[in-house]
Amino acid sequence: MKLGTSAIIGGTLFALAIFVGLFAPWLAHTDPVMGANLMNAEEPPSWTWWFGTDAQGRDIYSRVVHGARISLTVGIVSQLVNSVIGVTLGLTAGYWGGWWDDVVNGLTNLMLAIPSLIFALAIMAVLGPGLTSLLIALGLTNWSFTCRIARASTLSLKSQGYVQAARVLGYGDLRIMITQLLPNMVGPIIVIGTLGMGGAVLAEASLSFLGLGIRPPYPSWGSMLSEARDQITTAPWLSVFPGLAIFLTVLGLNLLGDGLRDVLDPQSRSRRA
Amino acid sequence: MTAAPLIEVEDLRIDLDDGARHVAAVEGVSFRIDRGETFGLVGESGCGKSITALALIGLLRRPLSVAAGAIRFEGREIQGLSAAEQRALRGNRIAMIFQEPMTALNPVSPVGRQIAEMFVLHKGKSWREANQLAVEALANVRVPAPERRVKDYPHQLSGGMRQRVMIAIALACDPDLLIADEPTTALDVTVQAEIIELMRNLCAERGTAILMISHDLGLVANVCRRVGVMYAGRIVEERGSDDIFRACAHPYTQGLVDSLPRLGSRAALGRSRLREIAGVVPAIADFPSGCRFNPRCAQATEICRTTAPETTWLGAGGLVRCHHHA
Ligand SMILES: Nc1ncnc2c1ncn2[C@@H]1O[C@H](COP(=O)(O)OP(=O)(O)O)[C@@H](O)[C@H]1O
Ligand code: SF4
Ligand SMILES: [Mg+2]
């Protein structure tokens, strides 16, 4: 298994983001919410204030660092929920076929027809802002690609000798799905999941920017951008650093996803062979 | 009074129904296998051997289905069992190995785990115990250094080794019947002989009955005490293995015998090709009326084209279905 350059660069960026998120309390200079001090309001970036400060004198660097926690939690958890839903639906639909397959296909098509951000927006409008609502809204609206891939993989794997053999050896349906089918489709599922995680980070930023996600004063990258909106010309650092954090994280996840695809996805592997 | 057979197939008919047509792929097939006995089904590719085997373990799926007849395992009708009861038989009391050792193993699971799964599934063992038993099972099929080999993935093993692993999986739960469907067709000749020998010895030691399926009459007759010759979905002759070579009764069987390479004819092989039966097995939809072998049979007469031959009983439990049998 050889990782390409894009997987390595992407992996490094993502690992860096995870590291920052995990160790945020130690990396931050001040408390991201309470550390306001009007004496230091709107300082541009300097040796003391690496990323500058905002109108209330809060350290932007500390807020970006803490924002990583929220943005990554939303990205990872919501994508995990999506993956679990997508795999469960796609695998069972492909395996059992029949009316269940029709139902899942209908649902998938519906999800694909509605832009997932619009759908998430609607859910957020009902549930109200907050971390839990974000996780629910983003976790329920982006499983259709995973579902498609899981279903297609199941259909092609179902005729494999080892799946037939498992049936002959007395495996039940559930055991076949878990031991024979699932492990043989993890590659493409991980690829889709990685790309989806990038999408979720962006979606969180968008929803928070619109005031529907994480609300100020809590620092998610999206909510920081939202707050910085009015000072984009007077204090550009308020927008630049959270924007850069989003950009690098999403870029990292996309590079990682593309790089993993080359290694893990058997289809693109055979295409190259 | 004779003991109940291990498995008994009576007048089995398998239908192929894909909406457009409804035809019998297998018809009037009957045979029985006693405990510890070895029985072979032989015939060219497409004669219905594999689907008969699938019917035996209750795994025919659309468009194929058992349309008539009975399959009894230890006197119990397979068709009458619940799905869970059938699963409890499969892999546990009736096991099966296939032609393709390359594809019959899960590529992303270590072979030891695949063996161990059988003990967990059918014998209720813990994974700890099962892993231990898997090492023993690998040792039993003469895989060297089994403690290390259990961690290998299928792609790290040769074809012969993989087929040994398949045998280890199949025999893990000490089944009463092992169905071997073309178990060595994909392997080269020397490995073939080793695998057959291994399978035969292990089954003989444990008293496991074998249903051996192959297009190779020589192989089947070598392993099995009795042989059923199948053609186009029917058993056309059933004999003791020795009788087949000494005095087979059906023209199709004669054709199979004639197409075998004979001892001492090796030198001649280079010059003249083996005699083969002219023509091919017809597709199910194109089965001819009368005796299904008639388009390829040198002895065919008018009656062969109109009337299916009845069963004629021969000595020593043999039978043949031919109007002009020897
Ligand atoms: N799933 C299936 N759908 C339709 N026809 C099938 C299917 N499986 C087998 N057949 C047909 O049934 C006949 C017997 O097949 P098979 O039992 O595999 O033959 P054998 O094992 O003797 O070579 C063949 O004509 C084959 O084309
Ligand atoms: S019944 Fe007729 S066609 Fe069929 S095998 Fe016998 S002689 Fe040949
Ligand atoms: Mg076959």
Residue B231 Cβ inside 6 Å of ligand 2? The answer reads no
B157 Cβ under 8 Å from any chain A Cβ: no
Residue A270 is predicted with a pLDDT of 47
CATH of A24-31+63-272, one of 3.30.365.10, 1.10.3720.10, 2.40.70.10, 3.30.230.10: 1.10.3720.10
Residue B147's pLDDT band (boundaries 50, 70, 90)?
very high
Pocket-testing residue among B12, B14, B16, ligand 1, by greatest number of atoms within 8 A of Cβ: B16
Residue B300 Cβ inside 6 Å of ligand 2? The answer reads yes
pTM over 0.90: no
Pocket-testing residue among B235, B256, B293, ligand 2, by greatest number of atoms within 8 A of Cβ: B293
Alpha-carbon distance B223 to B220, whole Å?
A: 5
Residue B67: how many CB atoms within 10 A of its CB?
16
A183 Cβ under 8 Å from any chain B Cβ: yes
Identify whether the C-beta of residue B320 lies closer than 8 Å to the C-beta of residue B314: yes
Cβ-nearest to B98 among A165, A170, A183: A165
Chain centroid to Cα B43, Å, comes to 10
B104 and A172 in contact by Cβ < 8 A?
no
Q: How far is residue A161 from each of residues A164, A168, B97, B123, measured CA to CA in Å?
A: 5, 10, 11, 24
Strands B64-73 and B7-17: antiparallel
Alpha-carbon distance B190 to B197, whole Å?
A: 11
- Write down the mean pLDDT value for chain B: 90
Rounded to the nearest angstrom, the distance between the alpha carbon of B46 and the centre of ligand 1 is: 6
Kindly report, residue by residue over A103-157, the tens digit of the pLDDT. Answer: 999 999 999 998 888 888 899 989 988 889 999 999 999 999 999 999 999 999 9
Residue B232 Cβ inside 6 Å of ligand 2? The answer reads no
Helices (H), B156-250: 159-171, 189-206, 217-223, 241-247
- Which atom from ligand 1 is nearest to the alpha carbon of B61? 1
- Phi and psi torsions of A165, nearest 5°: -60, -40
Alpha-carbon distance B240 to B218, whole Å?
A: 13
Residue B106 is predicted with a pLDDT of 94
B87 and A172 in contact by Cβ < 8 A?
yes
On the question of pLDDT at B141 being above 70, the answer is yes
On the question of pLDDT at A187 being above 50, the answer is yes
A97 Cβ neighbours under 8 A, 6+ residues apart: none
ipTM: 0.86
Locate the domains of chain B by residue range: 225-326
Question: Number of residue pairs across A and B with CB atoms under 8 Å?
Answer: 58
Alpha-carbon distance A98 to A67, whole Å?
A: 46
Angle at A170 between CA A166 and CA A174, to 5 degrees: 70
Alpha-carbon distance B64 to B84, whole Å?
A: 21
Residue B292 Cβ inside 6 Å of ligand 2? The answer reads no
A40 Cβ neighbours under 8 A, 6+ residues apart: A49, A53, A57
What does B111-174 look like in DSSP terms, one character per residue? HHHHHHHHHHHHH---HHHHHHHHHHHHHHTT-SSHHHHTT--GGGS-HHHHHHHHHHHHHTT-
Q: How far is residue B167 from each of residues B40, B114, B179, B192, B319, measured CA to CA in Å?
A: 18, 12, 11, 13, 32
Average pLDDT over residues A252-259: 92
Q: How far is residue B303 from each of residues B130, B291, B310, B314, measured CA to CA in Å?
A: 60, 9, 12, 21
On the question of pLDDT at B284 being above 60, the answer is yes
Residue A267's pLDDT band (boundaries 50, 70, 90)?
low
B177 Cβ under 8 Å from any chain A Cβ: no
Which residue is associated with the tokens 């179902």? A158
Minimal Cα distance from A185: which residue of B?
B108
Minimal Cα distance from A171: which residue of B?
B87
Kindly report, residue by residue over B198-212, the tens digit of the pLDDT. Answer: 999 999 999 999 999
Which residue is associated with the tokens 């660069």? A9
On the question of pLDDT at A38 being above 80, the answer is no
